[in-house]
Amino acid sequence: MIFTNVRNILFYIPFPPPYTFNHNYAIVFKISSVPVGASAMRPSAASTSATTVRISWSSPQTPYGIIIRYEIYRYEASTDFGTPIKTKEVNGTILEATVRNLQPFVRFKFTVKACNSYACSEHSGGVYATTAVGGKLCVCVSDLFVGVLQVENLKIFVGLLKLEY
């Protein structure tokens, strides 16, 4: 049996007499491994200003130990959401973060990784958020665009109709 992404796992337990120990066999214990279940973290995001986005998520399905930190990654529309940029780290007991100093009115994708003392999980599912122009613009839930527009004092002119919110 082969274990991947695991460290410090092998130690042999000698068999008591009358059994003899054969070096081809060993009892293997899994001490530490990468957190599993990044898809269960389901991040969500909401723009809180023209330059900030608040992200929240759930714990991974199987942490394999204590989660010591979460890493938040952002992807920019200018790179076709292709290259992750590590944006922030938070303590493992915190399940939310605010990403600051973003460009106004730009669409971003965010993912989260859970990290234990051994390694980090895969990226969670992506969540999209667009920073606001002047008020609040809330979007997203897990790779789906579920948009809710909440811009303060927005005035839209459509033909002869004047819509004010």
112-129 pLDDT, tens digit per residue, is 999 999 999 999 999 999
For domain 34-149, is the CATH number 3.30.930.10? no
CA distance 4 to 34: 9
What CA–CA distance (Å, rounded) separates 39 from 37? 5
> What DSSP string describes 96-135?
EEEE-SPPTT-EEEEEEEEE-SS-B------EEEE--SSS
The whole-angstrom separation of Cα 78 and Cα 151 is 24
Edge-to-edge order in the sheet of strand 107-115? 85-91, 69-76, 107-115, 127-130
* Cross-sheet strand order for the sheet of 44-47: 44-47, 53-56, 96-99
**For 37, which DSSP code?**
-
Q: What is the pLDDT of residue 163?
A: 42
Q: How many residues does the chain have?
A: 165
Ranges of the chain whose pLDDT falls below 70: 1-32, 134-165
What was the pLDDT predicted at 14?
A: 52
- If you ran DSSP here, which 8-state letter would residue 44 be given? E
